[in-house]
Structure 1
């Protein structure tokens, strides 16, 4: 997270200027990309929870929603599912999904910043093989690519770097 925070800090305040429904669309596209980069998840309750939540997220984006609404059943089962999330990166993805759903007034720029961080952390954890810290993250193709992707998505929406 050292590299991510260093690289993304300058975008933090600008996220609030993105309209709420576009913030949700950005969050969902980054989560989707992150999941694709992570590769297949082990079959089971965790992957089913994530897949179901992402389906709901896509439906929210298609309807121009400003936040993700997850069923009470899904929210209630989150802790039990998280207890089984021993596969690298899955807890962070679940946290990103929950952050999108826990936004009473719509997905704020600050919450979006957290979602992007969770997505980065999911990939960092999943591919962590060269140690921990700033230098290790700089050597990680996955970490560098995640930051580049997130920046490009933000720039596409804002129209400026």
Structure 2
């Protein structure tokens, strides 16, 4: 996360200038890309939760709303599902989904910043080398690619 924070800090305040429904579109596109980069998630309750939530996220973006709405049942089951998220990166993706759904006033710039961080962390954890820290992240193609993709998505909306 060292590299992500260093590279993305200058975008933090700028995210608030993007309309909330567009912030949700950015969040969903980054989550989609992150999931694609992560590859197959083992079948089970975690992958089903993520797939169902992402379907709702696409519906929300298609409707032009400002936040992801998932059922109270899904929100209530988050902790139980997360307890089963042993596969690298899945807890971070689930946290990104929860952040999008737990935004009463719409997806703020600060919440979007957090979602982007969760997505980066999902990939960093999924493809983590034995080395950790800023230099290890700089050498990681996945880390660098994730930051480049996120910046490009933000710039598309600024």
TM-score range, shorter chain: over 0.9
* CA distances 1:56-85 after superposition (whole Å, capped 9, x unpaired): 000000000100011011011110000000
Q: Distance in 2 between matches of 1:59 and 1:143?
A: 29
- Following superposition, the deviation at residue 130 of structure 1 comes to 4.2
- Following superposition, the deviation at residue 129 of structure 1 comes to 1.3
Alignment correspondent of 2:135: 135
Please state if 1:29 is matched with 2:35. Answer: no
Alignment correspondent of 1:95: 95
* CA distances 1:22-72 after superposition (whole Å, capped 9, x unpaired): 000000000000000000100000000000000000000000010001101
Query: 5 Å matches for 1:9-158?
Result: 9-158=9-158
The 4+ residue runs of structure 1 with deviation greater than 3 A are none
* CA distances 1:115-136 after superposition (whole Å, capped 9, x unpaired): 0000000000000014110011
Structure 1, unaligned runs of 5 or more: none
Q: Distance in 1 between matches of 2:17 and 2:130?
A: 36
Q: Distance in 1 between matches of 2:130 and 2:91?
A: 21
Alignment correspondent of 1:8: 8
Q: Distance in 2 between matches of 1:131 and 1:72?
A: 40
RMSD (CA atoms)? 0.5
